[in-house]
Amino acid sequence: MPEKIAKMKNITRTVWILSLISLFTDTASEMLYPVMPIYLRTIGFSIFLIGILEGLAEAVAGLSKGYFGKLSDSRARRTPFVQIGYTLSAFSKPMMAFFIYPLWIFFARTIDRVGKGVRTGARDALLSDEATPETKGKIFGFHRSMDTLGAALGPTLALVYLYFYPEDYITLFYIAFIPGLIAILASLFLKEKKHEIEKNHQHVKFFSFLKYWKQSPLVYRKVVIGLLAFTLINSSDVFLLLKAKQAGLNDTHVIGIYIFYNLVYAIFAFPIGILADKIGLKKMFVIGLSVFSMVYFGMSFATDIYFFAALFFLYGIYAAATEGISKAWISNITDKKDTATAIGTYSGFQSICTMIASSMAGFIWYQSGAAATFLVSGFATLLIIGYFTFYIKPVTQLTINNSMPFS
């Protein structure tokens, strides 16, 4: 018991609130994730139009993350961006069921992604402010754990509802507003610390965050180049689910295995974050990449449900060892006054690279089959592991203001 108390003592009130907000928001979003393509098809969207919708939405989210991260740093404010961002995402859910016209659906989906763009940099900067360089893994890991718990609860609730009310998708969109509303109410309890950073009232242009890339520390650019290279070969999780479906698993098994993956991710993100603080964020990230390559090599020839379950278990471990860790790592190698800009810039580029990765994966799958898709990613990951291992030096010491690292 004393050990558990010691582990939790760095989890501040702000971290708890942000984590609960993410839990409820992800519950709302993931309730709709499995049924979104089906719902869009029922109201007349073609596969091509769905692809355009998702591509546009992700592009807007990606670019807005960098802009609003820069704006948050410029104004030296975090809480308003978090509150506005989660509010936009919550209200976008019922909007998608209110009208079924394509332009309205595009508008509602874009509102949801803009909400994510508004909040991401500021939220992660708040998390960073609540941690020391020695506890970044723990704090970001705890937040990812709570966030991903919502990703497991959401599809589960959707499955239960659709079991009793088959094909009642519109009502599900309205139900998803409830956890979103709870997230908005929780955000009202956030109290922002007074920042020592001076406010910059200069006009922030939409692409002004790109200037940060040239001004950022060299180690930041090296790390982010490696992270983005990995993103380019890390396609959407949909391809993993498609492989399971192609291997003969039914819809219930596929959704069940997706929920299982999120549960593993949620359970292990916090303890892995604590371990990362002890062994080093870079080392933990490389371990995560190694697990990823194992999963993708395994996916290339997996056919049995038990083998898929084992691979998705490992995939949850990979996610726990990389998702929150990468942002914790970035926050440790950048100036505190630029935290939201640094994370927002990375997240923005990451969204664009994810779009490219999924397009490339789809092309390889179409041309050469599923096995080739996973083998290419598996081998490419080995090269990226080499890049991080031999080219990126671990951060061993930080200055008092957590700005410039000494490698």
Q: What does the alpha-carbon distance between residue 218 and residue 287 come to, in Å, rounded to a whole number? A: 24
16: exposed, middle or buried (C-beta count within 10 Å: 0-12, 13-18, 19+)? middle
Q: What does the alpha-carbon distance between residue 240 and residue 295 come to, in Å, rounded to a whole number? A: 10
253: exposed, middle or buried (C-beta count within 10 Å: 0-12, 13-18, 19+)? middle
Give residue 7's pLDDT. Answer: 52
Task: Identify which of 83-97, 229-243, 391-405 has the greatest average pLDDT.
Answer: 83-97
Q: Which residues pair with 397 in a beta bridge?
A: 406
Helix, strand, coil % in the chain, rounded to nearest 5: 80, 0, 20
Q: What does the alpha-carbon distance between residue 333 and residue 393 come to, in Å, rounded to a whole number? A: 12
pLDDT in tens, 274-319: 999 999 999 999 999 999 999 999 999 888 888 999 999 999 999 9
Top pLDDT among 56 and 31 is at: 31
CA 36 vs CA 54, 170, 172, 251: distances in Å: 11, 10, 10, 15
Give the CA count within 13 Å in the CB-facing half-sphere of 366.
6
pLDDT in tens, 126-138: 998 898 888 999 9
Q: What whole-number percentage of the chain has pLDDT above 90?
A: 40
Q: Is a pLDDT exceeding 90 seen at residue 55?
A: no
What residue ranges do the domains of the chain occupy?
2-193+208-406
Q: Is a pLDDT exceeding 80 seen at residue 9?
A: no
Q: Is a pLDDT exceeding 70 seen at residue 72?
A: yes
pLDDT in tens, 160-206: 888 888 878 889 989 999 999 999 999 999 987 765 555 555 666 66
Q: What does the alpha-carbon distance between residue 33 and residue 126 come to, in Å, rounded to a whole number? A: 27
Give residue 309's pLDDT. Answer: 92
Q: What does the alpha-carbon distance between residue 390 and residue 55 come to, in Å, rounded to a whole number? A: 35
Rounded to the nearest angstrom, the gap between the alpha carbon of residue 14 and the centroid of all alpha carbons in its chain is 20
Q: Is a pLDDT exceeding 50 seen at residue 97?
A: yes
> Any idea which of 49-63, 115-129, 241-255, 348-362 has the lowest mean pLDDT?
49-63
Give residue 48's pLDDT. Answer: 61
Q: Mean of the per-residue pLDDT values for the chain?
A: 84
| Assigned CATH class of 2-193+208-406 | mainly alpha
- Helices 281-299/251-279 angle, 10° precision: 150
Helical ranges in 130-237 per DSSP H:
136-164, 169-175, 177-187, 210-215, 218-231
Q: What does the alpha-carbon distance between residue 399 and residue 391 come to, in Å, rounded to a whole number? A: 22
First to last CA, the chain: 37
Contact 125, 72 (CB under 8 A): yes
Collapse the DSSP code of 397 into the 3-class scheme (helix H, G, I; strand E, B; otherwise coil) and give the result. strand
Q: Is a pLDDT exceeding 80 seen at residue 225?
A: yes
Mean of pLDDT values over 27-51:
75
* Residues sharing a CB contact under 8 Å with residue 357, sequence separation 6 or more, in sequence order: 231, 232, 233, 234, 235, 236
Q: What does the alpha-carbon distance between residue 64 and residue 83 come to, in Å, rounded to a whole number? A: 16
Q: Is a pLDDT exceeding 70 seen at residue 142?
A: yes
Give residue 194's pLDDT. Answer: 66
Contact 211, 338 (CB under 8 A): no
pLDDT in tens, 242-275: 888 888 887 778 888 888 999 999 999 999 999 9
